[in-house]
Amino acid sequence: MAMGAGARAAVVIVAAFAVVACDGPPAAEAALTPFERVLADSLAGDSAALATLPPALHELLVVRAALDGASNSRCDLMPSRQRHELRRRFRLTFEDSSRVLLYAVADDSTGRLDRVEYIRRIPTRGQRGLIWDGERDRTTSTWWSETRWGLSRRVERGDIPRGGPLPRALRALGRQLMMSPCAEPADSAETGSPTTAP
């Protein structure tokens, strides 16, 4: 049975405490990967942010559940562009045939996220993007309208306030993606950031 983000983090924390009991805190710290440490430290805040999302964004909860491996999803490791960079891409198809792409970049030596992109293509309507940029701690919403020739080249953009639950929820999905099982990249030449094609 697939293990959810909360259950996985709980297992990580229990394992850490078991090591503490036997060998002390330094051994427990060494037993965890950087991503496991970050996930365990962020679990409460991430769960709170996801729980307080408005109904229009509850689709993020569906994506969170699917990250452990769903039949209508695929996770891929993407080639690194620099040392200690880890990139993962997750694709999911909803029941209404809309498609989602979740993309995250992190430092595998620290577990720190650098970027998270969430793109959803809705048939006959358009495509929405939610992008968190770690360098500037900025979250941007984008929208491409659907035209008779495909997606419009005109992009509507707007900034999302830092204090709301959405930026934290995006980072929560990015952190979980870094812990999800992924396939090795099929094409080593594929190095770009997937910002327009779920």
Q: Retrieve residue 176's tokens.
A: 């979980």
Q: Is residue 47 part of a domain?
A: yes
Q: Is residue 69 part of a domain?
A: yes
Higher pLDDT, 77 or 192: 77
- In this prediction, residue 125 carries a pLDDT of 87
- In this prediction, residue 185 carries a pLDDT of 64
Q: Is residue 116 part of a domain?
A: yes
Q: Is residue 196 part of a domain?
A: no
Q: Is residue 190 part of a domain?
A: no
The stretch 159-186 carries a mean pLDDT of 89
- In this prediction, residue 102 carries a pLDDT of 97
Instruction: Tell me the pLDDT tens digit for each residue of 7-48.
Output: 554 444 444 444 444 455 555 455 678 888 888 889 899 999
- In this prediction, residue 193 carries a pLDDT of 57
Torsion of CA 14, 34, 165, 117, to 10 degrees: -130
DSSP 84: T
Q: Is residue 114 part of a domain?
A: yes
Instruction: Indicate the number of domains in the chain.
Output: 1
Q: Is residue 74 part of a domain?
A: yes
Range of the domain at 33: 5-177
- State the chain's mean pLDDT as an integer: 81
Q: Retrieve residue 109's tokens.
A: 């030596």
Prediction pTM value = 0.78
The stretch 82-105 carries a mean pLDDT of 92
Of the candidate ranges 7-16, 65-74, 141-150, 172-181, the one whose mean pLDDT is the lowest? 7-16
- In this prediction, residue 16 carries a pLDDT of 42
* Cβ(176)–Cβ(36) below 8 Å: no
Q: Is residue 28 part of a domain?
A: yes
How are strands ordered across the β-sheet holding 85-93?
A: 73-78, 85-93, 99-107, 113-122, 126-133, 138-147, 150-160
Length of the chain, please? 198
